[in-house]
Structure 1
């Protein structure tokens, strides 16, 4: 039997492979990413199958691809970035790390559908890879926002629409167009009435597909679904004598409701005798005072003003939106004026709608009588929605029967106004670009120096405990002549140390809107600009033996900031904070279920929950306020690396728990510890359970934490 003799080609191929691999490793040592990447690709292509390479080599290549991606993203070289990722995936189609990184990048540049495909592949390959699991959840949240869950769970709203639609159809109006159909609830209501034909129009691709699935699941065949903006349709898609729509935001106009109704009434309906659900709306405004609310919009904390040597400075939130949505019944609010009806809009009155939409000079001057004495901080707006002449719903916070899917619109005054009971104030109300604008007329100019800054700067400076901690921290480093890097959204520590002769402070600015204010602080405190350097990106030149690095370890939304895992190599650096602990507590809160999971009972027993709850996830971040019941004391997890940990906890209150509440204890330095639990600046996070858990007093529960970098997951 002849022995196998190696062919010359095999030998040469192996030598080439080893040559490319050696060059790739040498380039990695020199941090020459491009050279390393090119030689790794040549190495893998020289093999019969790239998967023949060792796991160690594949791991090095994966890390290299991720580094390349980060560098190319920083330089906005999108073409090369995509080429790098796609080429790597051609070599290793099941590399879940690369799949996740590419998916996360596509999400960042708003290529949502593409992002989801890559992330779903990553999760399918490795269901235990936390970054891909959480990134996929974030993509789903973007496709189906949380407000959609709140809307579907608002049973009162749904029953009112059901009663209105059924009553109109019973009058003989059976050819229905549902505009902004969402997942199809209102179309389902209409379609279940005898003799109806329904056209559902939805522009959101995900909701469009969901609507098709839900109609099929409910065995409905008399609904045609169109994927487009209704205002793009130039002729009726079918017979229509009943228009149904729910495209309203908390201030009525923000979702282009009037434009949609006007177009539908003039283009989509096919009969002179027709009906609209809803048929009209009334909009109301009143003046309010609320320290609870104003602190999130305007700088009010005297201590931080004094620390920065600022007098007569007005600092307010920079926001392009004309109003914010708030749930006033959960706030400490004082109603300062009477309530005035601003609009009474008849949706059949096309002349009235046209005037509001198209007349640039259209506005209303409204006089409000003050019923209290004190500071006027903002105006609150809500509405009544007349579904029919007999059926209406409202988001009026003073009405015990208010629906809960809409909050109230709050329009803040940059400068609070002192008002006296019985006096009259005048406001101007207008609809501009399909949005509501409310302004106060004839206010006296103050003697303030005014700045518009990011909301994060306002809430940072208004957080009493946070400011106290930093004020206590600063003296520990006074007159030490150290270089300081303050990476917080507001560099309060950097300002205080710069006033007391540290060497140089560097602050990588997060929002350019803040730069003018920060430069004013330097001027007011006589700090030379060469001592406090504002940069777009952090570039500190080594040279100091000791530097202070003050990192913003927690994001405002309650997630971990990437920089909290960076280690500094500039001399013997002092890292602040010294440590970060995660506090977790068993709780129950109706809000968690309301915003994250739909119950078919709330959607009139239609089969909707199974479809939409695929977008639910298991985490609710960015919680500013949360009403909840405690079922245990908090348990502490130290954040010190990746992996899984568990802690046992004893139930102290019997009941049904549906979530774990998470916040942080930040040890800035020695005995200076700050908790984000009741923070003005940092929001909280909840991890909720697949099913609520029945708890008995004294039960032992094991809470588990899984971490991978800044990605976290908690469960029991």
Structure 2
């Protein structure tokens, strides 16, 4: 029967009282545990609405956290909620948390293909794939080890490891007996990784710092006689001939002729924030270095001025001298590092000219594709230009060029596939003429470049719908069609992937052409779903879907190259670190070119799946050719464009689609002649995975019976058959979970329609959870709610708990970081990083504070810097007051309200105020800090770093203390402001002589300024208003929430000009309480700005001046020429 609490919860939900409805659901679940089995959906709906309502209310993040925590208590180990949380983490990039969460999900259900894909992406974001290769290079590790052994003076040198990576350099330094080692890492995940490695080695001598290097290291931390390792570096370039590399990044001449753009120079876009592509030149057997190498620049890391100079913009004119007759296709670059005078490292690709002990394979070489292919004769000079900007070297070109994405270039340069497309066009036209005239055909071509669509338009097709990933690709497509005299009004180019199905309206198409495969080798899930929808709803009767067949081929293999690039080997590094680092190894490797990668085949190629007719899960049988350990399952595609055409394999040289591999961890022993079974799982979006399962049995009788019952609609009996199969054969649930869940969902739907069957539903759920314990779905749903509503303070506590359970929750970590951003204003970093401001405050406090006499009240203490400075000035005591609510304290109050408030007790949030009283207490000192005099040893400096800044749970009726002031209202607890001033009157002058107001005075100035860039940011331009035909309108931007002005760094803009003299708006004396109170009232100021010269005033700018003491001032006046350097702050 329905419980009273459920009815009450429904009534409250209908009235919009979601907080009380949520409590009623919790009460019902606590009294009647079976309720949550069949009322879970209602509970989640109410929770979602409550989160939405709380989200719109200020300062209610802790109550949201409370809701989530108790929701998880009500539905422990629910897999839906955990999956939603994981999705939230992934969408916001909280990668470290995602990993823990997704690994736990995959341990429970290995068929979660999309979860595994996201997990791999998260690992890639946390741990760069290049680090595996770098740290697996024995030459590089040995060179650095030898250099550090030679350079480090035992028990004398202090080591600063910049960007410490996995901590190898720090461990080597400790092995060289350095006096101390500090390792910096910009990644919190890497810092945590190094910490786990150090803790396992029980070495507490390495200090780990998790902070961006450029924002942390102050001047003076590096000694005058410090040495850098490496000491020196050199960068070289040379011209090379390699058609395979050139065709990856530049449109081939033959293709340009086919497209009728023979004189165009079409190059690929460079990677984001990169100036070149990385390639392993030694893997290409057709590469030839055509010129002598040329030194572009060198850098001495021991000289600070030399390093700074390389961060400025520099130009280099270079002449490459040909060594023989031939052609230069690309320019390649490499470096040489001088670790010491005797130890060198280089990634020079010319293996014959470099000693083996100096050649490292840990780094790739640079390829600059912006080079026009040039025929050269021996000793001929070829001039090229490079530019070095912000430490990045780039090739400088002077010719006119067009850049497009790498996908259309790779696609068009695949001559085998292009010829196949051109050959299939006549057959397609012959087929279409049987059902429609060619001039009436409408085509969809979602290939990287619509080559099929172009050929059809040239034959008279009516319209073409195609797709481009970027605006550059869109412009290129339109330019090609224009060059072929195809009217652009017949062409529609969809840009990006943000279009809706409504775009197609009632249009039907006669041909849909799309490979749905990405260049890197995996499936474009969005495109796959789009094509499936179009096939069902937009393909004309008898229309063509091309290619007609795409199949996936697999082959068992082992490869040292794959191992080195995807996992860390302890033998290569000399330390036991692999178990920690390899948790970031991916389960799938993409962008593989099997024509250059060395691997050993362990089986014949086998059909994995028919991509166009894939099942949810199936089994593939493979016979090994040799006894070995299988570490990878190589996969590639075969495409059949048209019926009766030959299949085109992607496992070939020059193919536009790379191959990929499923990596096995650990490697699986296989034996010649055995029948191995591969489990293949495919998601609804086309993504799939396969894994090796030894001793796997074929379908069981119970499964077949369950399928038969399901087809007949007998879901109750089918459910029982699945339970029987799982009980008899536990491995069934690994690859049949999806089928089981489908049957359970249908059974629950059927039971829901029947009256009074809630207990049978409860029975079904209970036995389902017994079959699949610790399912993660419900926790993921709750995570999605948290992420979508931004409950930041609660997010932190909840995500930490989730990460303790599942460290793969990458998206959880992303959301946690967003929550921290909302809680801790980013502007505080800039404020406290301003040396001028810190120095001024320090000097002012040093001048004002009387040592061992003054007690300091630090209002809005921030991170406690002022309090620390006060203690450094030997103030007698320091009281730090924060104007905002501490997240942990608020959560504590909420817990006390729920779990410690007596029945019938009252909690009146609107009437709670915080009262302040200055005091001194020996009891508080003894219970909150260590005194050396009491213990007899010098230990206080170490122990007191753990002393709290706030004492809780105090009973002032029993604690002895001396009152130094009367009680004063500090704040209204429910209506706290960020910062405010409290006036306190001491009772004893001798005991509490002063509570300083620092700064003691402030002034605010304004002036008129001219800056078109500012005006155009915040006000509609006159030209635009004329275009919009509203010339007399005044259109301004909306001000930020709860702000009356915008904040800008005026000194960063070179076009700003102060047009008037400054005018004082108001001043405030912080030492006078009445003056401070007056400034909180509404006041009006009439000001006349006096122009200094002829011109135009676009905006009004304002700044302040603070008088910390009579001699120390601080100002953010933008007029840098008129303000002394020591008074100007950039905080």
TM-score (norm 2): 0.52
Q: How far is the alpha carbon of 1:652 from its aligned partner?
A: 3.1
Aligned position for 2:513: 550
Structure (1 or 2) with the greater strand fraction:
1
* Partners of 1:548 and 1:47 in 2: CA distance: 59
CA distance in 2: counterparts of 1:305 and 1:11, whole angstroms: 70
Do structure 1's residue 346 and structure 2's residue 300 form an aligned pair?
yes
Higher Cα Rg: structure 1 or 2?
A: 2
**1:237-636 paired onto structure 2 within 5 Å:** 267-270=220-223, 272-300=224-252, 302=254, 304-319=255-270, 321-331=274-284, 332-358=286-312, 360=313, 362-398=314-350, 399=354, 401=356, 402-439=359-396, 450-478=401-429, 480=438, 481-536=440-495, 537=499, 541=504, 543=506, 547-562=510-525, 563-565=527-529, 566-567=532-533, 568-570=536-538, 571-572=540-541, 573-604=543-574, 606-625=575-594, 626-636=597-607
| Larger CA deviation: 140-149 vs 471-480 | 471-480
Which segments of 5 or more consecutive residues in structure 1 lack a partner in the other structure?
1-5, 21-37, 66-81, 236-265
Q: 2:844 is matched with which residue?
A: none
Q: Give the equivalent residue in structure 2 for 1:669.
A: 642
Counterpart in the other structure of 1:230: 213
Q: CA deviation at 1:557?
A: 1.5
Distance 1:687 1:8, change over 3 A: closer
Counterparts of 2:295 and 2:581, CA distance in 1: 37
Quote the offset at 1:586 in angstroms: 1.2
| Separation in structure 2 between the aligned mates of residue 278 and residue 119 of structure 1, nearest angstrom | 40
| TM-aligned CA distance change 1:364 to 1:600, over 3 Å | same
- After TM superposition, the structure 1 = structure 2 runs for residues 151-166 of structure 1, keeping only pairs within 5 Å, are 151-166=134-149
Shift of 1:176: 0.9
- Helix, strand or coil at the partner of 2:211: coil
The CA distance in 2 between the partners of 1:189 and 1:439, in whole Å, is: 41
The separation in 2 between residues aligned to 1:12 and 1:97, in whole angstroms, is: 25
Q: 1:199 to 1:125 in 2, by over 3 A?
A: same
Deviation at 1:341, TM superposition (A): 2.4
CA contact (8 A) 2:144 2:339 kept: yes
SS in 2 for 1:598: coil
Maintained 8 Å contact 1:200/1:224: yes
Deviations 1:354-409 (A, max 9, x none): 33333x3x333332211122322222111111111111111111236211110111
- What CA distance in whole angstroms lies between the structure 1 residues aligned with 2:133 and 2:452? 40
Residue deviations 1:247-302, cap 9 Å, x none?
A: xxxxxxxxxxxxxxxxxxx64322x3332221111221111111010001111162
Q: Summarize the Cα distance change of 1:89–1:330 in structure 2 as closer, same or farther, 3 Å threshold.
A: farther
Residue of 673, 684, 706 corresponding to 2:681:
706
Change (3 A) 1:630 1:521: same
3-state SS, counterpart of residue 427 of structure 1? strand
For residues 98-177 of structure 1, the aligned pairs below 5 Å read: 99-100=82-83, 103-104=86-87, 106-113=89-96, 115-116=98-99, 119=102, 122-123=105-106, 126-170=109-153, 173-177=156-160
Q: State whether residues 96 and 121 of structure 1, in contact with CA within 8 Å, keep that contact through their aligned partners in structure 2.
A: no
Compared with structure 1, are the counterparts of its residues 453 and 95 closer, same or farther at alpha carbon in structure 2 (3 Å cutoff)?
Answer: farther
Aligned to 1:25: none
- Distance in 1 separating the partners of 2:678 and 2:197: 36
Match in the other structure for 1:263: none
Secondary structure, aligned partner of 2:489: coil
SS at match of 1:348: coil
Q: Secondary structure at the match of 1:219?
A: coil
Matched residue, 2:617: 644
What is the Cα deviation at residue 666 of structure 1?
A: 2.2
> How many aligned residue pairs are there?
634
Aligned to 1:188: 171
Query: CA–CA distance in 1 between the matches of 2:488 and 2:294?
Result: 51
1:684 lines up with 2:636 in the alignment: no
Secondary structure of 2:478's aligned partner:
helix
Aligned residues of 2:155 and 2:177 also touching (Cα < 8 A): no
1 CA distance for matches of 2:461 and 2:35?
56
Write the distance in 1 (CA, Å) between the matches of 2:189 and 2:247: 37
CA separation in 1, counterparts of 2:413 and 2:250?
A: 8
Q: Is the 8 A contact 1:339 1:368 kept in 2?
A: yes
Deviates more, 1:342-351 or 1:607-616: 342-351
**Distance change in 2, residues 1:7/1:389 (3 Å):** closer
More helix per residue = 2
3-state DSSP of counterpart to 1:188: helix
Q: 1:7 to 1:506 in 2, by over 3 A?
A: closer
Q: Provide the residue aligned with 1:23 in structure 2.
A: none
Task: Tell me the distance in 2 between the aligned counterparts of 1:195 and 1:666.
Answer: 60
Post-superposition CA distance 1:537-580 (Å, at most 9, x none): 36553545653222332122211222334242124353223332
Distance in 1 of aligned mates of 2:308 and 2:299: 11
Post-superposition CA distance 1:143-194 (Å, at most 9, x none)? 1121111111111111111111111124775211111111111100111233
Q: Structure 1 residues 676, 11: CA separation in 2 closer, same or farther (over 3 Å shift)?
A: closer
Structure 2 unmatched ranges of 5 or more? 49-63, 430-436, 693-1131
Deviates more, 1:643-652 or 1:607-616: 643-652
Higher relative contact order (CA 8 A, sep 6+): 2
Q: Residues 624 and 188 of structure 1: is their aligned pair in 2 closer, same or farther, counting only changes over 3 Å?
A: same
| Structure 1 residue 415 displacement after superposition | 2.2
- Counterpart of 1:325 in 2: which secondary structure? strand
Tell me if the contact between 2:36 and 2:75 (Cα under 8 Å) persists in the aligned partners.
no
Q: Is the 8 A contact 1:371 1:421 kept in 2?
A: yes
Distance, in Å, in 2 between the alignment partners of 1:410 and 1:112 is 31
**Larger CA deviation: 110-119 vs 478-487:** 110-119
SS of equivalent residue, structure 1 residue 268: coil
Partners of 1:96 and 1:125 within 8 A in 2: no
Q: 2:188 & 2:8 partners in 1: Cα distance?
A: 50
Distance 1:653 1:268 in 2: 59
Whole-Å Cα distance in 2 between the matches of residues 348 and 338 of structure 1? Answer: 29
Deviation at 1:456, TM superposition (A): 0.4
RMSD: 3.7
The structural deviation recorded for 1:126 is 4.3
Distance of 1:411 and 1:467 partners within structure 2: 26
Question: C-alpha distance in 2, partners of 1:15/1:497?
Answer: 60
Question: C-alpha offsets along residues 487-537 of structure 1, whole Å, 9 cap, x if unaligned?
Answer: 122111111112222232111322211111111112122212232211333
Q: Which moved more, 1:655-664 or 1:170-179?
A: 170-179
